[in-house]
Copies of this chain bind each other. A is one copy, B any other.
Amino acid sequence: MEEVRIGVLVSGGGTNLQALMDACMEGEIHGRVVLVISNRDDAYALERAADMGIRGQFVSPRDYRGEDYDRELIRLLREEKVQLVVLAGYLRVLTPLFIDEYRDRIINIHPSLIPAFCGKGFHGERVHRAVLESGVKQTGATVHLVDEGTDTGPILLQETVSVLEDDTVESLQKRVLKLEHRILVKAVGEMCLELGNENIGGNHEASID
C-alpha cells in the first residue's frame, strides 16, 4: 500500500501542519505531506514546511480573480498528485470548483464543538473568546469533511475540553490546540488508511474543467 499524498492549505503559524508532518514522519499516518500552500506569504507554516524539506508555496490572492485562485491551487495539487487535502488554519473560503475536485477528501479542523461557535467569523482566538464570554463549561474541537457551507460538512471526530474557572483566551486556546493536533492526526490517519485501501484498485484520477 502506497503512502497517501497529502496537501495542506494554511494561512498562519501552522502548528496543526507540524503535528501532521511529525505524525507522517513517525509512521503514525500512512501518508506524506508533499505540498503546503499558503494564501499569505508571511505564514510561518511555510518555514515549517521548508524545515522538513517539503515544498511550500505561497499563492497570492491578488494575482487571481474568482475561481481562478482555486484553479491555480488545483493545478499545484495535481502537479504533486495530492490525494487528500487538509485545511490547517486556512482562512479563505473554498469555491465549489475546489470542493468538487476533492469531494469528500478535504478535511478541516475547527476549534470548537460544532455546531457551537462555528460559521463565518469564528476562527482562531475569536472562538475561544466567544466561548469564555458565553459561560459554557465545555468546549472542544471538531474534525470534519468540507462541503459548500462554512463548518457544515460531515463530522469525523469531535472531542471535548472543560472550560476552567480561571481560563483566559490563551490558556483555553492552548489546551484546545493540543486536542486539535491529536484528533486531526487521528482523522487524517484513518482517512489515509481508507484511501490507501481504495487505491489498491487504481489511483484516484483528478479531472478539472
Contact = CB atoms under 8 A, between A and B. Distances in A.
A137 B140 CA distance: 11
A113 interface: yes
A199 interface: no
A147 to B, nearest CB: 12
A138 B158 contact: yes
Size class of the A contact interface (CB-based, 8 Å) = 10 to 19
A154 interface: yes
Nearest to A114: B136
Interface in A135-155: 135-138, 140, 142, 154-155
A113 B135 contact: no
A207 interface: no
A121 interface: no
A171 interface: no
Output the residue of A113, A117, A136, A137 with the most chain B CB within 10 A: A137
B137 A138 contact: no
A138 B137 CA distance: 14
Contact of A160 (B117, B138, B155): B138
Nearest to A157: B137
Contact of A154 (B116, B117, B135, B140): B135
A53 interface: no
A66 B117 CA distance: 36
A160 to B, nearest CB: 5
Contact of A155 (B136, B154, B157, B159): B136
Nearest to A131: B115
B138 A113 contact: yes
Nearest to A117: B115
A71 B142 CA distance: 45
